[in-house]
Amino acid sequence: MSTTAHRVARLSELPADRALRVIVDGTPILLVRDGDTVRAYSPDCPHAGGPLEEGALCHGRIICPWHKGTFDVSTGNVLEPPALLPLDRYPVTLDGDDVLVSAEKIAAPAPAAHTSPPDATAQRKHYVVIGAGAAGAAACAALREFGFEGRITLIGDEAHAPYDRTSLSKFVPSFEMTPADVPPLLPPDWLHTHGIERIVAKVARLDVPAHTIHFEAGAGSSEQSIEPLKYDTALLATGSVPKVPDMPGCELGGVHVLRHLDDAAALIDALGDDASQTRVAILGSSFIGLEVASALRKHGVPVTVISRDKVPFAKQFGERAGQMFRALHESNGVKFYLDAKVASLEGEEGNVHTVMLAGGEAIAADVVLLGTGVAPATGFVEGLPLQKDGGVVVNAGMNAACGLYAAGDIAVFTLHENQEPVRIEHWRVAQQHARIAAQNMCGLRNRYADVPFFWTYHYGKNFEYLGHASEWDEIVVDGDFDHHQFIALYVCDGHVDAVFACEREALTARLSDAMRGGLSRADALAIIGAPEAAAS
On the question of pLDDT at 282 being above 80, the answer is yes
Distance (Å, rounded) from C-alpha 346 to C-alpha 352?
Answer: 6
Please compute the mean of the pLDDT values over residues 493-512 and round it to a whole number. 97
Residue 416, pLDDT score: 84
Helix H or strand E segment including 492: strand 485-492
Provide the residue type at 266 as one letter: A
Residue 118, pLDDT score: 45
Distance (Å, rounded) from C-alpha 184 to C-alpha 141?
Answer: 13
Q: What's the full length of the chain, in residues?
A: 536
Render pLDDT for 211-251 as a digit per residue (tens, 0 to 9).
999 999 875 555 567 899 999 999 999 999 999 999 999 99
Residue 149, pLDDT score: 96
Residue 393, pLDDT score: 98
Cα 245 vs. chain centroid, distance in angstroms?
A: 25
In percent, the amount of the chain with pLDDT more than 90 equals 91
For residue 122, name the pLDDT band (cuts at 50, 70, 90). Answer: very low
Closest CA to 161 of 179, 186, 178: 186
Listed as own residue / partner, the contacts of 215-224 with beta carbons closer than 8 Å and 24 or more positions apart are 219/157, 221/159
Please compute the mean of the pLDDT values over residues 427-444 and round it to a whole number. 98
**Contact yes or no for 30/19 (Cβ under 8 A):** yes
Residue 530, pLDDT score: 78
Closest CA to 454 of 52, 63, 66, 46: 66
Render pLDDT for 47-72 as a digit per residue (tens, 0 to 9).
999 999 999 999 999 999 999 999 99
Distance (Å, rounded) from C-alpha 521 to C-alpha 33?
Answer: 29
Kindly list the strands in the beta sheet with 280-283, ordered across the sheet, starting from the edge strand earlier in the chain.
255-256, 367-370, 280-283, 303-306, 335-337
**DSSP secondary-structure letter at 279?**
-
For residue 180, name the pLDDT band (cuts at 50, 70, 90). Answer: very high
Residue 395, pLDDT score: 97
On the question of pLDDT at 252 being above 70, the answer is yes
Preceding omega of 162 cis (within 30 degrees of 0): no
- Extended beta strands in 73-135, E state: 78-80, 89-90, 92-95, 98-102, 126-130
Please compute the mean of the pLDDT values over residues 388-398 and round it to a whole number. 97
Report CA-CA distances (Å) from 49 to 66, 81, 458: 9, 13, 20
Distance (Å, rounded) from C-alpha 175 to C-alpha 271?
Answer: 11
Helix H or strand E segment including 435: helix 427-441
Q: Who wins on pLDDT, 118 or 332?
A: 332
3-state secondary structure of 487: strand
For residue 115, name the pLDDT band (cuts at 50, 70, 90). Answer: low
Residue 533, pLDDT score: 58
Render pLDDT for 448-493 as a digit per residue (tens, 0 to 9).
999 999 999 999 999 999 999 999 999 999 999 999 999 999 999 9
Please give the model's pTM, rounded to 2 decimal places: 0.94
**Contact yes or no for 429/436 (Cβ under 8 A):** no
Residue 1, pLDDT score: 47
Which domains, ranges and CATH numbers included, belong to the chain? 5-102 (2.102.10.10), 111-242+374-449 (3.50.50.60), 255-372 (3.50.50.60), 460-535 (3.30.390.30)
**Sequence-distant (≥ 6) Cβ neighbours of residue 325 within 8 angstroms:** 290, 312, 313, 458
Phi and psi of 265, rounded to 5°?
-65, -40
Helix H or strand E segment including 145: helix 134-145
On the question of pLDDT at 111 being above 90, the answer is no
Rounded to the nearest integer, the mean pLDDT of the chain is: 94
Please compute the mean of the pLDDT values over residues 329-336 and round it to a whole number. 98
